[in-house]
Structure 1
Amino acid sequence: MTTSIPAGANQSSSAQSKAMVDYNSFLKLLIAQMKNQDPTQPMDSTQYVAQLATFSQVEQSMQANTKLDQILQASSLSQATSLIGHSISSLDGEVSGIVKEVRVFSDGMVAVLESGEQVLVGPGISITAPPAGDTGPATT
């Protein structure tokens, strides 16, 4: 079985570190703003709290998106492995055969058949279970 790691699989850690950099930058700017404000006309403390709360919401949304991306990647890999050994037919019916391997990309999956032909896994394809008693492709 061959599966490719989706493009962008390593982006979650860089997105997290970027979020932390942005969060740290925000805090530094907030502290600089507090230090350099005019003492005779200080900024209202509720404005600080509102800025911090808004930024916290954005950070939480970014973390939720990262988790959703991880769930989608795991789902794609699970779906890919379940196709191996099954019979698949393309949308137009011109390409069909038994799935030998599945290649997972960031924008979808491609099933490689025993004949070497490739079928884009997407809407309209036909997938059937292997015959009873067949446990999938033979391994050598």
Structure 2
Amino acid sequence: MTVNMNTTLPPGISQTPAKSKTTVDYNSFLKLMIAQMKNQDPTQPMDSTQYVSQLATFSQVEQTVQTNNKLDQIMQSSALAQADSLIGRSITSADGSTTGTVKEVRLANSGLVAILENGSEVAVGPGVSITAIG
């Protein structure tokens, strides 16, 4: 199903470029609502309470997305704080094939990655063993 979003916006509402395909903001919502209003059946227009309900639902979704973004930032900060404690410790990968002393730690999309003195990399996760040297 193809939806054509070429609509003329009312005065005071500007068209902004999308930040990403997964980002939806109030301008996008207003465009969709205007398109919905233009294309509704004039003999049976949508009840105003339905518009309010849609706006409330959209607001809740946007707040949830913002909360998730903040939680991601907090988790990254926590991971970086924990990363500092890994440097200088001995680490063994979950399968036991890689062992060494952690030289540095990098934060990747999948989580923490410990870089060993020999250049090997170990993804820090379940099954990984970390011990103090000495």
TM-score by length of 1: 0.65
Distance 1:19 1:39, change over 3 A: closer
Q: Quote the sequence identity (%).
A: 68
Structure showing the higher helix proportion among its residues: 1
State how far apart, in whole Å, the 1-side matches of 2:123 and 2:34 are: 53
> What's the CA shift for 1:19?
2.6
CA-to-partner distance for each residue in 1:80-138, whole Å, 9 max, x for gaps?
Answer: 2221011212234443222111122101322122233332322112212244xxxxxxx
Indicate the larger mover: 40-49 or 70-79.
Answer: 40-49
Which residue number corresponds to residue 127 of structure 2?
A: 124
Q: Could you tell me which runs of 5 or more consecutive residues in structure 1 were left unpaired when the two chains were aligned.
A: 1-13, 132-140
State how far apart, in whole Å, the 1-side matches of 2:27 and 2:92 are: 52
- Higher RCO (CA 8 Å, separation ≥ 6 residues): 1
TM-score by length of 2: 0.67
State how far apart, in whole Å, the 2-side matches of 1:33 and 1:125 are: 53
Secondary structure in structure 2 of the residue aligned to 1:82:
helix
State how far apart, in whole Å, the 1-side matches of 2:41 and 2:123 are: 63
State how far apart, in whole Å, the 2-side matches of 1:25 and 1:41 are: 25
Note if 1:111 corresponds to 2:118.
no
Q: Superposition RMSD on alpha carbons, in Å?
A: 2.7
Q: Could you tell me which runs of 5 or more consecutive residues in structure 2 were left unpaired when the two chains were aligned.
A: 1-18
State how far apart, in whole Å, the 2-side matches of 1:47 and 1:36 are: 15
> What's the CA shift for 1:63?
0.9
Which residue number corresponds to residue 8 of structure 1?
A: none
Distance 1:38 1:115, change over 3 A: closer
Which residue number corresponds to residue 79 of structure 2?
A: 76
Secondary structure in structure 2 of the residue aligned to 1:18:
coil
Which residue of 45, 48, 58 corresponds with 2:48? Answer: 45
Alignment coverage as a number of residue pairs: 115
Note if 1:91 corresponds to 2:94.
yes
